[in-house]
Amino acid sequence: MQLLYTLLACSFLAPSHGAPDFGPLLPSPPPFTLPPVTQLSIFNKVIAPDGFARSATLAGGIFPGPLIKAQKGDLFSISVLNQLQDENMPLLTSIHWHGIRQLKTNWADGVAFITQCPIPQYGSFLHQFSAPGQTGTYWYHSHFSTQYCDGLRGPLVIYDPEDPHRGLYDVDDETTIITLSDWYHDPSTQLNKITGRGVTYNSTLINGLGRYPGGPKSPLAVINVKQGLRYRFRVIGLSCDPSYNFTIDGHNMTIIEADGVETVPVTVDSLPVLPGQRYSVVVHADKPVANYWVRALSPFPNQTFAGGLNQAILRYNSAPDEDPTSSSGPFVLPFDEAMLASFGSIPAPGFPQIGFADVNLNLVAGNVKGRFTLNDVSFQNPPISVLLQMLSGARHPSELLPKGSVYELPPNKVVEITLPNTGAAPGGPHPIHLHGHNFAVVRVAGNSTPNFVNPIWRDTVSMGAVGDNVAIRFVTDNPGPWFLHCHIDFHLNKGFAAVMAETRDEIPDIYANIPAAWYDLCSTSD
- 3-state SS record for 417-458: EEEECCCCCCCCCCEEEECCCCEEEEECCCCCCCCCCCCCEE
Which of 47, 95, 141, 483 is catalytic? The answer is 141
**Does residue 394 have a pLDDT over 90?**
no
Supply the pTM of this predicted model. 0.93
Which of 143, 165, 251, 437 is catalytic? The answer is 143
As a whole number of angstroms, the distance between CA 86 and CA 418 comes to 41
Encode 191-200: b = buried (16+ Cβ within 10 Å), e = exposed: bbeeeeeebe
Best CA proximity match to 7, nearest among 185, 150, 216: 216
Which of 96, 185, 251, 284 is catalytic? The answer is 96
User: Is 251 known to be catalytic?
Assistant: no
Q: Which CATH architecture has domain 359-524?
A: Sandwich (2.60)
pLDDT band at 393 (very low <50, low <70, confident <90, very high): confident
User: Is 127 known to be catalytic?
Assistant: no
Q: What is the mean pLDDT of residues 212-233?
A: 97
**Does residue 20 have a pLDDT over 50?**
no
**Does residue 214 have a pLDDT over 90?**
yes
433-492 confidence digits (pLDDT tens): 999 999 999 999 999 999 999 999 999 999 999 999 999 999 999 999 999 999 999 999
pLDDT-wise least confident of 68-77, 175-184, 396-405, 450-459: 396-405
Q: What is the mean pLDDT of residues 133-148?
A: 98
User: Is 17 known to be catalytic?
Assistant: no
pLDDT band at 59 (very low <50, low <70, confident <90, very high): very high
pLDDT score recorded for residue 504: 86
Which of 52, 114, 496, 510 is catalytic? The answer is 496
User: Is 433 known to be catalytic?
Assistant: yes
The sheet that has 414-420: what strands, in order across it?
Answer: 359-362, 414-420, 469-475, 439-443, 457-458
pLDDT score recorded for residue 395: 64
The DSSP code for 118 is P
User: Is 396 known to be catalytic?
Assistant: no
pLDDT score recorded for residue 397: 66
How do strand 497-502 and strand 406-409 relate by DSSP bridges? parallel
Encode 121-152: b = buried (16+ Cβ within 10 Å), e = exposed: bebbbebebbbeebbbbbbbbbbbbbbbbbbb
User: Is 10 known to be catalytic?
Assistant: no
pLDDT band at 509 (very low <50, low <70, confident <90, very high): confident
Best CA proximity match to 45, nearest among 28, 66, 24: 24
pLDDT band at 508 (very low <50, low <70, confident <90, very high): confident
User: Is 485 known to be catalytic?
Assistant: yes
As a whole number of angstroms, the distance between CA 88 and CA 190 comes to 9
Which of 47, 63, 78, 98 is catalytic? The answer is 98
Higher pLDDT, 24 or 73: 73
Classify residue 19 as left (phi > 0), alpha (psi -120 to 50) or beta.
beta
As a whole number of angstroms, the distance between CA 98 and CA 108 comes to 12
pLDDT band at 8 (very low <50, low <70, confident <90, very high): very low
pLDDT score recorded for residue 29: 46
Q: What is the mean pLDDT of residues 490-503?
A: 96
333-360 confidence digits (pLDDT tens): 999 999 999 999 999 999 999 999 999 9
The sheet that has 75-82: what strands, in order across it?
Answer: 54-59, 37-47, 75-82, 124-130
267-326 confidence digits (pLDDT tens): 999 999 999 999 999 999 999 999 999 999 999 998 999 999 999 999 999 999 999 999
User: Is 165 known to be catalytic?
Assistant: no
The number of angstroms, rounded, from the C-alpha of 425 to the middle of its chain's C-alpha atoms is 21
pLDDT score recorded for residue 511: 84
Which of 119, 178, 488, 507 is catalytic? The answer is 488
**Does residue 17 have a pLDDT over 90?**
no
Which of 485, 490, 507, 510 is catalytic? The answer is 485
How do strand 203-206 and strand 136-142 relate by DSSP bridges? unpaired
Percent of the chain with pLDDT over 70: 92
User: Is 435 known to be catalytic?
Assistant: yes
**What are the CA-CA distances from residue 436 to residues 104, 276, 292, 474 (Å)?**
9, 14, 39, 10
User: Is 430 known to be catalytic?
Assistant: yes
As a whole number of angstroms, the distance between CA 240 and CA 327 comes to 28
Which of 240, 456, 487, 507 is catalytic? The answer is 487
Q: In the chain, which segments carry CATH 2.60.40.420?
A: 33-335, 359-524
How do strand 37-47 and strand 75-82 relate by DSSP bridges? parallel
pLDDT-wise least confident of 23-27, 142-146, 325-329: 23-27
pLDDT band at 122 (very low <50, low <70, confident <90, very high): very high
pLDDT score recorded for residue 19: 39
As a whole number of angstroms, the distance between CA 517 and CA 261 comes to 33
User: Is 143 known to be catalytic?
Assistant: yes
State the CB neighbour count (10 A cutoff) for residue 331.
12
Encode 245-255: b = buried (16+ Cβ within 10 Å), e = exposed: bbbbbbbbbbb
As a whole number of angstroms, the distance between CA 203 and CA 334 comes to 26
pLDDT score recorded for residue 291: 98
User: Is 372 known to be catalytic?
Assistant: no
**Does residue 16 have a pLDDT over 60?**
no
The number of angstroms, rounded, from the C-alpha of 520 to the middle of its chain's C-alpha atoms is 28
What average pLDDT does the chain have? 92
User: Is 284 known to be catalytic?
Assistant: no
Which of 433, 437, 474, 483 is catalytic? The answer is 433
Which of 127, 165, 185, 430 is catalytic? The answer is 430
For the domain made up of 33-335, give the CATH fold.
Immunoglobulin-like (2.60.40)
Higher pLDDT, 1 or 378: 378
As a whole number of angstroms, the distance between CA 515 and CA 128 comes to 10
